[in-house]
Amino acid sequence: MSTHRFDLFAPEARANPHPIYAEMRRNSPVCQVDPGGIWAVARYDDVLFVLKHPEIFSSQGFRVTLLAPWLESNPLADSLLVLDPPEHNRLRALVSRGFTPGMIAGFEPRVRAIAEELAGELERLGEADFMASFAVPLPARVICELLGLDPTLHAEFKRWADHLAMVSPVTPSEHIPAVRATVEAMIGFMKEVIARRRKTPANDVVTRLLRAEIDGHALSEAEIVGFMSIILMAGFETTTNLLTKTVLGLTGRPADIARLRADPALLAGFTEEALRFESPAEIVLRQTTTEVTLSGVTIPKGAFVAAIIASAQRDERKFPEPDRFDMARKPDVFIAFGHGPHHCLGAPLARLEMKVGLETLLRRFERFERLPGELAWNCTLAVRCPHALPLRFVVPASSSVRSARYVEAAV
């Protein structure tokens, strides 16, 4: 076992953590790391064990990180994210009534129309920041429509999501005033939305959540605010990060773009491999309820544990040649969206946005080219993504020919 203590916030770890994760899997599969000496779990089987056993690895560990002493209230701190069974089961059953896979599937025409509009603007510009011009506004506008919010406020909601993701015991002091103000404004805004929906119901998720009831039990205002906060943060971060890192990868694999353009049926397998190759969520945090041993290492009771999903999905014990992108790969257990009780409720929406977004981009563009300059990466444990991705969007010679099916969907 290595005695070196890895720093997950080091610049090289943010830019490309996979060599570090590989070393951890080889020599220190369970070890203490920075920040804060939390325990990191790097191998697939161990990460899966953590996700499957909430009675040992409690989500309350995540709650502690959300209750920063400088923050009066955080709607995520009592939400689904931090609850264990059986309380988690009750709340998940209720919110599932307002956020069904059927409702999400029926939203595909709007997702396609939004993606078509954004891709058309990229084609007009020729060069743009892919994140600001496509990867952020696509999920942002979708979420606004699902929640019945003003879509012109999507940039403000993205800022809220970014600030929520920054809340932790190690939040830089210079960011604390802005994050505190954001959380206060967000809670007030969501309570106003809920009050309006009580008076005037609409065809949106908030109204469905207000009507959700099981055995006479309904959701409280705080629980609805918590779930709206999850949708905002996870809905923005998951799809934005996934699209951004996938397109970034495609800038170095033009052969994959050519294959997908020639045979769109390959996109389903490509999407699953993209989820494995660059997980939308990097790490999930838990806290041990008892002493436990993984890979021969004993983790004490009460320890904070970082289950590194991004490392698990490149574990050579599970995936042959894990650093090779293989769209024909077929994993038997998929953990990009978690596993067990906390499997992500929004996974169908993220997959839909990913599928439609990539279909639209690949139909319009022959390739994506990086513009000069180093990428700057964010600094949160849960997700890893660049702040911006400047690209050149190259159209094929036959770009004037459009599919009638897509044109109709965009109208």
Tokens 């011009």 locate to 133
pLDDT, position 378: 82
Confirm if 183 and 73 have CB atoms less than 8 A apart. yes
Is beta strand 297-299 parallel, antiparallel or unpaired with respect to 367-370? unpaired
The DSSP 8-state label assigned to residue 79 in this structure reads S
Q: What pLDDT is stored for residue 3 in this prediction?
A: 59
As a whole number of angstroms, the distance between CA 302 and CA 70 comes to: 23
* 3-class secondary structure, 58: strand
Q: Cα dihedral angle (94, 96, 99, 105), rounded to 10 degrees?
A: -160
Residue type (1 letter), 369: E
Q: Tell me, what DSSP letter sits at residue 350?
A: H
Q: How many CB atoms lie within 10 A of CB 53?
A: 15
- Our CA dihedral for 269, 272, 278, 280, rounded to 10 degrees, sits at 150
Percentage of the residues of the chain whose pLDDT score is greater than 90: 54
User: Which tens digit of pLDDT belongs to each residue from 83-115?
Assistant: 888 888 888 888 888 778 788 888 899 999 999
Full set of structural domains in the chain with CATH:
11-410 (1.10.630.10)
Residues 6+ apart with CB under 8 A from 152: none
Compute φ and ψ for 265, nearest 5 degrees.
Answer: -65, -20
> CA 39, CA 306: separation in Å to the nearest integer?
6
Query: How confident is the model over 267-288, as pLDDT tens digits?
Result: 999 999 999 999 888 998 899 9
Task: Please count the other Cβ atoms lying within 10 Å of the Cβ belonging to residue 231.
Answer: 21
Mapping DSSP to helix (H, G, I), strand (E, B) and coil, where does residue 299 land? strand
Sheet holding 283-288, edge to edge: 30-33, 38-41, 304-308, 283-288, 57-58
Distance CA 151, CA 157 (A): 9
Q: What pLDDT score does 248 carry?
A: 97
Which residue positions in the chain have pLDDT lower than 50? 400-411
pLDDT at residue 90 in the model: 85
